[in-house]
Chains A and B, each alone.
Chain A
Amino acid sequence: MENMIYAENLRKEFKKIIKEPGLKGAAKALFKPKREIITAVDDISFTVSKGEILGFIGPNGAGKSTVIKMLTGILMPTSGVCRINGKIPKEDRKNYVREIGVVFGQRTQLWWDLALRETYAVLKEIYQVPDEQYKKRMAFLNEVLELDDFITSPVRTLSLGQRMRADIAASLLHSPKVLFLDEPTIGLDVVVKENIRSAIKKINEDEGTTVILTTHDLADIEYLCERIVMIDKGKKVFDGAISELKHNFGDVRTLEFELTGVPDFQLLDYSRHFKMKENDIRAELDGSTVRVRFDTSKVSVEEIVSYTLRTVHVKDLNIKDVEIEEIIKRLYRREVSL
Chain B
Amino acid sequence: MRYFRLHRIFIAQYLKKLMEYKVDFLLGAIGMIITQALQLLFLGIIFSQIPALIGWSFEEILFIYGFSLIAKSLDHLFTDNLWMVGYRIVRKGEFDKYLTRPINTLYHVIAENFCVDAFGEILTCLLLLGYSIPKLSLPFHWYTTPLLLIVVVFATLIYTSLKIMTSAISFWTKASGHITHMLYMTNDFSKYPISIYNKTVQTVITYVIPFAFTAYYPASYFLTGENPLFCIGGTVIAGSVLFALALFVWNRGLAAYESAGS
With A and B bound together, what is the CA distance between A271 and B70 in angstroms? 82
With A and B bound together, what is the CA distance between A100 and B101 in angstroms? 9
CB distance from A326 to the nearest CB of B (A): 27
A317 at the interface (CB under 8 A from B): no
With A and B bound together, what is the CA distance between A118 and B112 in angstroms? 13
A114 at the interface (CB under 8 A from B): yes
Contact of A122 among B9, B93, B261 (CB under 8 A): B9
B48 at the interface (CB under 8 A from A): no
Chain A residues with CB under 8 Å of B96's CB are 69, 74, 104, 107
Best-surrounded residue of B5, B96, B108 (most CB of chain A within 10 A): B96
A234 at the interface (CB under 8 A from B): no
With A and B bound together, what is the CA distance between A94 and B107 in angstroms? 13
CB distance from B13 to the nearest CB of A (A): 6
A190 at the interface (CB under 8 A from B): no
Contact of A74 among B2, B100, B104 (CB under 8 A): B100
Q: Size class of A's contact patch? A: 20 to 34
User: What 15 new A-B contacts, CB under 8 Å, besides A65-B261, A74-B99?
Assistant: A69-B96, A72-B100, A94-B104, A104-B262, A106-B262, A109-B100, A115-B16, A118-B13, A121-B9, A122-B13, A125-B6, A125-B9, A126-B101, A127-B101, A154-B20
**Interchain Cβ contacts under 8 Å between A and B, 16 examples:** A69-B259, A74-B96, A74-B99, A74-B257, A74-B259, A76-B255, A97-B100, A97-B102, A106-B262, A107-B96, A109-B97, A113-B17, A113-B21, A122-B9, A126-B101, A126-B102
B87 at the interface (CB under 8 A from A): no
A111 at the interface (CB under 8 A from B): yes
Flag if B10 contacts A122 (CB, 8 Å). yes
With A and B bound together, what is the CA distance between A163 and B100 in angstroms? 18
Question: Which of B101-122 touch A at CB < 8 Å?
Answer: 101-104, 108, 112
How does the 8 Å CB contact mask read for A71-102 relative to B, with 1 for contact and 0 for none?
01111100000000000001001110110101
Do A107 and B258 form a contact, CB below 8 Å, given A122-B13, A128-B2? no
CB distance from A118 to the nearest CB of B (A): 6
With A and B bound together, what is the CA distance between A72 and B100 in angstroms? 7
A14 at the interface (CB under 8 A from B): yes
Do A114 and B102 form a contact, CB below 8 Å, given A125-B5, A182-B262? no
Flag if A98 contacts B9 (CB, 8 Å). no
B188 at the interface (CB under 8 A from A): no
B94 at the interface (CB under 8 A from A): yes
Flag if B262 contacts A75 (CB, 8 Å). no
The 6 A-B residue pairs whose C-beta atoms are closest, nearest first, are A98-B102, A106-B262, A113-B17, A102-B100, A74-B99, A94-B102
Q: Is the interface of A mostly helix, strand, loop or mixed?
A: mixed
Flag if B255 contacts A111 (CB, 8 Å). no
With A and B bound together, what is the CA distance between A223 and B17 in angstroms? 40
With A and B bound together, what is the CA distance between A182 and B93 in angstroms? 15
How does the 8 Å CB contact mask read for A105-149 relative to B, with 1 for contact and 0 for none?
011010101110010011001111000000000000000000000
Flag if B20 contacts A75 (CB, 8 Å). no
Flag if A75 contacts B100 (CB, 8 Å). no
Chain A residues with CB under 8 Å of B257's CB are 74-76
Flag if A107 contacts B94 (CB, 8 Å). yes
Chain B residues with CB under 8 Å of A90's CB are 255
Chain A residues with CB under 8 Å of B99's CB are 72-74, 93, 97
Chain A residues with CB under 8 Å of B6's CB are 125-126
Chain B residues with CB under 8 Å of A154's CB are 20
A118, closest chain B residue (CB): B13
With A and B bound together, what is the CA distance between A106 and B260 in angstroms? 11
Chain A residues with CB under 8 Å of B97's CB are 107, 109
Chain B residues with CB under 8 Å of A100's CB are 100
With A and B bound together, what is the CA distance between A182 and B261 in angstroms? 12
With A and B bound together, what is the CA distance between A14 and B261 in angstroms? 12
Chain A residues with CB under 8 Å of B261's CB are 65
Chain A residues with CB under 8 Å of B20's CB are 113, 154
With A and B bound together, what is the CA distance between A154 and B258 in angstroms? 30
With A and B bound together, what is the CA distance between A107 and B260 in angstroms? 11
Do A65 and B100 form a contact, CB below 8 Å, given A111-B13, A122-B9, A126-B6? no
With A and B bound together, what is the CA distance between A75 and B100 in angstroms? 11
With A and B bound together, what is the CA distance between A72 and B96 in angstroms? 9
With A and B bound together, what is the CA distance between A75 and B6 in angstroms? 26
CB distance from B181 to the nearest CB of A (A): 20
B255, closest chain A residue (CB): A76
Chain A residues with CB under 8 Å of B102's CB are 94-95, 97-98, 126-127
